[in-house]
Structure 1
Amino acid sequence: MLRNLIGRLICLLAALAVTVSAHAQQPSRLDQIISRGTLRVGTTGDYLPFTSLDKETRKFRGFDVDMAEALGKALGVKVEFVPTAWPQMMKDFEADKFDIAMGGVSITLDRQKKGLFSTPIMREGKTPIARCADKDKFATLADIDKPGTHVIVNPGGTNERFARAHVKKAEIRVYSDNVTIFDEIAKGNADLMMTDASETRYQQKLHPGVLCAVHPDKPFDFSEKAYWLQRDEALKDFVDQWLHISMEDGSFKKIYAAWFE
């Protein structure tokens, strides 16, 4: 009986050794990217100044598009942009359609459960953007959440989640085209949108004298933007170190200035 027990223990230890060895030999995501020669970047292409897709050329542009190209250069690989959308980004991430999501992605606990976030690149929060003639009407959530107010949101992201959490009396209208959504406010088809302060500042520049960001320096909540990575510590370490260097050597500031200043 003792002999059988010893035999089973030996078999168990052997199996465990094989499992540990196989796990140890499995390449990291970082190794896979370098070996593949391609970094797959998921991005929505509908969120300037972070990411935008030109429908004619089918090319992406934006702050995080430039940052992705810089990351690819640091890795020594080509960048492949993988189109996604806010309502399906989580599913695409879980399906491993890309290695990293870039394009104004906010840190959320739901996303953290599925992957890892880089060092934050921006700190901000939700704030309104409205027609300049009406901006003083929507300074607080109480001002906004009144019958007769029309709040417009893009579906599936943190903007819709924030609006539904705080707006109970005003009307919420879901508008699927995030590229033209601000034109709806300018035309009077909606009163305001609550989105990230960086976007309200950018849209204010695109619609001078028509749309105004409402207290972007004092947003309603706190949030941070970062890059959403598949769960791989080696890849996260590399991205964090690359961000640290780019913020110290001025390259991050140069890209930032091209889109935000």
Structure 2
Amino acid sequence: MPLVSTGELVSAAAAESRGIAAFNVITLEHAEAIAAGAERAGAPAILQISENAVKFHGGKLAAIAAAASAVARASTAPLALHLDHVVSADLLRAAADEGFSSVMFDASKLPYDENVKATADAVRRCHERGLWIEAELGKVGGKDGEPPLDAHAPGVRTAPSEAAAYVADTGVDALAVAVGSSHAMTRRTASLDHTLIADLRHAVPVPLVLHGSSGVPDEEIRRAVAAGMVKINVGTALNTAFTGAVRAFLEADPSTVDPRKYLAPAREAMAGTVAGFLRTIRA
């Protein structure tokens, strides 16, 4: 099936008051698992490659982008390709050339005024290339080895009035907000602020994005979508499934040297995780 644009999938989900899941791709097995899980659940999904994943591949975007794109095109599920948490200007420029329909530009660590300026410039450049663009306001935390943030600490969560001004001043197509989740959580214990999600939904005219969804329990995700969250990002949960399957296989058979023996169950474990999240998000 031809690649679908991220904007199309997110807009369709928002129009129907449902969620759309975006899953992080690190290896070819991740991409294959996401496609298999989407087919199993009968649902569309977004394959997203982060700047950190590109760094893992030696800073070269083309190969992993081509692999993810090829997997998506061979799938019977509607799938999109998204470049996530981009800081590098060079990587931002490369997105359209490598088949991405969307980018998440991350200036969230900058002071507010600098975030607005940098993001508005990124929006202009992305829209000139036909790219849909997401940005972040607030502090989700947990990336690059950072400890998870206290979701109730001052200045952590996204303020609706500031979000409205930010969207108006930058022109972003979607907004990632801080409402109680954190990146890199390996236990699903996050408690979201559903009142804040609803307030943000009414304050901004663009779809809301939940980062750090791996640490959010199923019922919290369902409530978040009902309150107005649209794009649901999942990464660590796939890695937890992958690593758990590899570890279990090698503990049972430590003499194995053929990586296909343990990558197959690892890929299957990720596919099951993908299907589970998709069913939850679309329930």
Q: With structure 1 as the length reference, what TM-score do the two structures score?
A: 0.26
More helix by share: 2
Q: Which has the higher contact order (CA 8 A, sep 6+)?
A: 1
TM-score by length of 2: 0.24
